[in-house]
Amino acid sequence: MALMLSKSRIVPTKYNFMTTPVISAIGLIIVALIVGQIGYGKISEQNSQIKSLKSDITKLTTKESVLQKVEENVENQVDSVTMALPDSNPAIIVVSQLRGLAGEWMMLLDNITVSGESKDKQMNAATVNFDVDGDLTMMLSFMTRLETLSPIVKIQTLKISTSDEIARATASVRSYWSEYPTKLPAISEPVNELTEKQIGLMNQILQLKIPQFYTITPSSPVERADPFNL
């Protein structure tokens, strides 16, 4: 015999009128909980975004303040720094600087050669070899001033011989260059002010003697009444 249970036996007849409201209430509670969880997640996400935006605003404000401080002198500093450590082989400029310095100290510069490029740690380096003749005292002054030139020059080898009052030196100096960064940092990345050590290094670079470049302006053509009369 099949067992059949009627609705009236599961829920007493006197409580039948409460079934629908209770089920509806339970459903509303479940929906409210789901919506509440979603809403809480959204609020937490928005709070996180607000904190991130506030942090970015603080970084940008600090960056603006730092950049405004250096804006006035940045052009001259950039020129000095890029000349001291250029982004291409500076051997030709170094040779020009050596000739100019030799002329100032009345030295005779000859036998100039430039070696191939080599890696020095993370920078490229080019070596310039040369001989120089002149008064010994003047030569010593010439040598001490080599490291005041820009691009940066470091003496690698130096041999001095004397004959009567004339001195002859065979020297090798090295100059450096490196490619500049090609990617800018993220706009939200903070800018740190220079440390005292970095400021001191910058001041030393600004004291280096940069080469003088001259621009020759071509003359404009002149009309001649008689083209055969030069």
With CA atoms as reference, report the closest residue to 181 among 125, 122, 119.
122
Residue pLDDT, tens place only, 144-185: 999 899 999 999 999 999 887 789 999 999 999 888 888 877
Residue position matching structure tokens 């003047």 = 138
Residue pLDDT, tens place only, 4-18: 444 445 545 555 555
Per-residue confidence (pLDDT) for residue 6, from 0 to 100: 46
3 state SS for the chain: CCCCCCHHHHCCHHHHHHHHHHHHHHHHHHHHHHHHHHHHHHHHHHHHHHHHHHHHHHHHHHHHHHHHHHCCCHHHHHHHHHHHCCCCCCHHHHHHHHHHHHHHCCCEEEEEEECCCEEECCEEEEEEEEEEEEEHHHHHHHHHCHHHECCCEEEEEEEEEEECCEEEEEEEEEEEECCCCCCCCCCCCCCCCCCHHHHHHHHHHHCCECCCCCCCCCCCCCCCCCCCCC
The predicted model scores a pTM of 0.64
Residue pLDDT, tens place only, 40-97: 667 777 777 777 777 777 777 777 776 676 666 676 688 888 899 898 999 999 999 9
**CATH architecture type of domain 76-180+192-206:** 2-Layer Sandwich (3.30)
Neighbours of 98 (CB within 10 A): 22
Q: What b/e readout covers 8-25, taking b as 16+ CB neighbours within 10 angstroms? A: eeeeeeeeeeeeeeeeee
Q: For residue 6, what are the CA distances in angstroms to 1, 13, 15, 18, 23?
A: 15, 11, 14, 17, 19
